[in-house]
Structure 1
Amino acid sequence: MSWTDPVPGTFLVSAIGTSYSRSDAAGKATVMLESRPSHANRLGALHGGFLAAFADHALFAGLAAMGRPEQAAAVTIDLTMQYCGSGRIGPPLRAEVELLRETGRMMFLRQMIFQDELIAASTATVRKAPMPRKPLSK
C-alpha cells in the first residue's frame, strides 16, 4: 500500500514523500521509501533529521499495513534513534517495523532502517488514537 499525507503541502508530503508498505506477519511490516537529493546533508549523505522523520513516518505506515489505519491519528510520545551507518542518496530505504506490545492507550514499537546494511534503529511509544465512544443505552 502507498502512504502519504492526504493534505497537500504538509511536512510529510514535502519532506518525506510517498512510502510503500506491506505487512510481513502479525505485528510486523516493511516500509520502503526512495531516497532523493532533498534528503541529503551538506556532506551528501542522508541527513540524520530526515532519518528521524522517516522513522516516525514508518511507524504509522507500518501500523496501517498491519491493518491499523485508524492509528494515523495517534501521536508519538517518544522516539529514540541510534545511527549505525551512513545512508546514501539513491538506494531505497527499508524500515522493518515491529509492534512489541499494545495496551489500552499505548503501543510500543521498534524498527531497523536499512540500505543494503543497517543504517539506523529506533524505538518508539505511540499514544493510540481515541476510539469513538458508544452512546449510553437507555
Structure 2
Amino acid sequence: MARAPQPLRPLLDGPWAGWLAWSDPVAGTFLEAAIGTSYSRPAGEGRAIVMLETRPDHANRLNALHGGFLSGFADHALFAALAAMGRPEQMAAVTVNLNMQYCGAGRVGPNLQADVDLLRETGRLMFLRMTISQEDVLIAATSATVRKAAERK
C-alpha cells in the first residue's frame, strides 16, 4: 500500500536547511493555493518561529499584503508552530478563537516571520500569542485559542 505524502518534512539542504517545511499535499486546498509552503523551527520551550515567503498573489489592490491572507497565515502558523514545538499531532487541532490586530502594512517580497508562544495548555485547550513581522517591523499581533486534536487510540 502506497504511503500518503506527508505535509510536514525536515529540510536537510538549501536556504531552509534545519527547518520543517509544511506544504499541503492536496492540490487546490486553501493552504496549498493561498498560503504556500511555510517553514518552522523551535525557539525555546513553548516557542517557535514560522516563516513564509511572500508572493504577488498575497497582495491586495494597493500592493500591500491582504488582511485576509495575513489572518489565514496566522491561523496556519499556530499549527506549524505547534508541530515545531514537538506536537505534530496538533496539526489536526482546530481554532476556536483568533484575534488579529493589524499594526502596519506588509509588503510583497520580504519574508513574513511569526513568533509564536504557547501561553497555557489545559486538558482540551491551548492558548497562544503571536507577532508577525517583516524585516523586524511589526505587521500584526494575534492571540488565539485552539481546541486540541483528539488522541488517536
TM-score range, shorter chain: over 0.9
Q: What do residues 63-90 of structure 1 show as CA deviations (whole Å, max 9, x unaligned)? A: 0000000001100001000000000000
Q: What is the rounded CA distance, in whole Å, between the counterparts of 1:4 and 1:52 in structure 2?
A: 18
Give the structure 1 partner of residue 151 of structure 2.
131
Candidates 101, 113, 119, aligned match of 2:139: 119
Aligned to 1:136: none
Q: Which residue matches 2:12?
A: none
Unaligned runs of 5+ in 2: 1-19
The whole-number CA distance in structure 2 between the counterparts of 1:84 and 1:8 is 32
**Residues matched between the structures, number:** 133
Q: What letter corresponds to residue 152 of structure 2 in structure 1? A: P
Alignment partner, residue 63 of structure 1: 82
CA deviation vs aligned residue, 1:85-112 (integer Å, no higher than 9, x gap): 0000000000000100000000000100
Q: CA deviation at 1:23?
A: 0.1
Cα separation, 2, equivalents of 1:7 and 1:40 = 23
Deviations 1:14-70 (A, max 9, x none): 000000000010100000000100000000000000000000000000000000000
- Distance in 1 (CA, whole Å) between partners of 2:94 and 2:40 is 20
- Matched letter for residue 126 of structure 1: V
Pick from 92, 95, 109 the counterpart of residue 114 of structure 2: 95
Residue identity matched to 2:112: L
Q: Which runs of 5+ in 1 are unaligned?
A: 134-138
Aligned to 2:103: 84
- Following superposition, the deviation at residue 132 of structure 1 comes to 2.3
Determine helix, strand or coil for the equivalent of 1:25.
Answer: coil
Counterpart Cα distance in 2 of 1:4 and 1:59: 15
Aligned equivalent of 2:69: 50
After TM superposition, the structure 1 = structure 2 runs for residues 15-30 of structure 1, keeping only pairs within 5 Å, are 15-30=34-49
Distance in 1 (alpha carbons) for counterparts of 2:127 and 2:79: 12
CA drift of 1:6 comes to 2.4
Q: CA RMSD in A?
A: 0.7
The list of structure 1 runs, each at least 4 consecutive aligned residues, that deviate by more than 6 angstroms after superposition, is: none
